[in-house]
Chain A
Amino acid sequence: MAKPDYTAMLRALSEHHVDFIVVGGAGAVLLGAPIITFDLDIVHSTEAGNVERLLAALDSLDACHRIQGERRTRPQASPRRSSGHQLLMTCHGPLDLLGAIGRGRSYTDLIQRTVELPVADDVVVRVLAPRH
């Protein structure tokens, strides 16, 4: 397994102008939770242009499905536009693409509940904020 490099994965997505929200453990850490996670979970916009940018970012990350055993299957456009989950392995560690979370909440549903946080000098990401 490639060692996770969260900043490198986020930088690749940012450099390709992908619209996404960091959720899950990494999102919790960015908000200050003292926990550990080994993958990066994101909810991405399924708008057609964004899916193309996402695929380009995944290509730059050498992403393939990580539950296919020895077969290295590359992500395709159609699954990226669904609300299902895609569990990928990249050259910078595990990356999970979540079409929706909770009760079918998509990027569009969640975007109002996000905060922008800088994770490097040149990278700012949206993170899902908890309900209060």
Chain B
Amino acid sequence: MPMETSQPLESGAYSEDGVDLTMIRWMLSLRPAERLEVLQAAVNSILETREWNGQT
């Protein structure tokens, strides 16, 4: 769901059912290999944070 904000949302930033379209547009602007790199970086970041917190 879109969050309430005091600033006007950019037109077309969300779909009617609240999906953040900006992230989808950004991912679609990347090549497939770059999309995989984004996933890889995100997962690495999460796992490193978990390790840092002693959760592995």
Chain A partners chain B: yes
Please tell me if B39 contacts chain A, counting CB pairs below 8 Å: yes
Q: Which one of B28, B38, B39 has the greatest number of beta carbons of chain A within 10 Å?
A: B39
Complex interface bits, A87-118 against B, C-beta within 8 A gives 1, otherwise 0: 00000000000000000000000000000011
Q: Are B38 and A29 in contact (CB under 8 A)?
A: yes
In contact, A36 and B40 (Cβ under 8 angstroms): no
Name the segment of A4-12, A61-69, A76-84 touching the other chain. Answer: A4-12
Interface size on B, residues (CB 8 A): 21
Report the Cα distance A37→B39, complex, angstroms.
8
Chain A residues with CB under 8 A of B28: 32
Size of A's binding interface in residues, CB under 8 A: 20
Structural contact, B39 and A119, CB atoms closer than 8 A: no
State in angstroms the CA–CA spacing of A7 and B20 once bound together: 27
With beta carbons under 8 angstroms apart, the residue of A1, A4, A5, A32 that contacts B35 is A32
- A119 & B33 in contact (Cβ 8 Å cutoff): yes
B9 — which chain A residues lie within 8 A by C-beta? none
CB contact between B33 and one of A33, A34, A37, A120 (< 8 Å): that residue:
A120
B44 and A32 contact, CB distance less than 8 A: no
Measured between alpha carbons, how far is A131 from B38 in the docked complex, in Å? 25
Q: Give the chain A neighbours of B39 by CB distance below 8 A.
A: 6, 26, 29, 36-37
Contact B42 A30 (CB under 8 A): no
Q: How far is the CA of A36 from the CA of B41 in the complex (A)?
A: 10
The 9 tightest CB contacts between A and B, nearest first, are: A34-B23, A117-B32, A32-B28, A32-B27, A29-B39, A34-B27, A30-B32, A119-B33, A36-B42
Residue contact B44 to A3, C-beta cutoff 8 Å:
yes
Q: Which residue of A lies closest to B42 (CB)?
A: A36
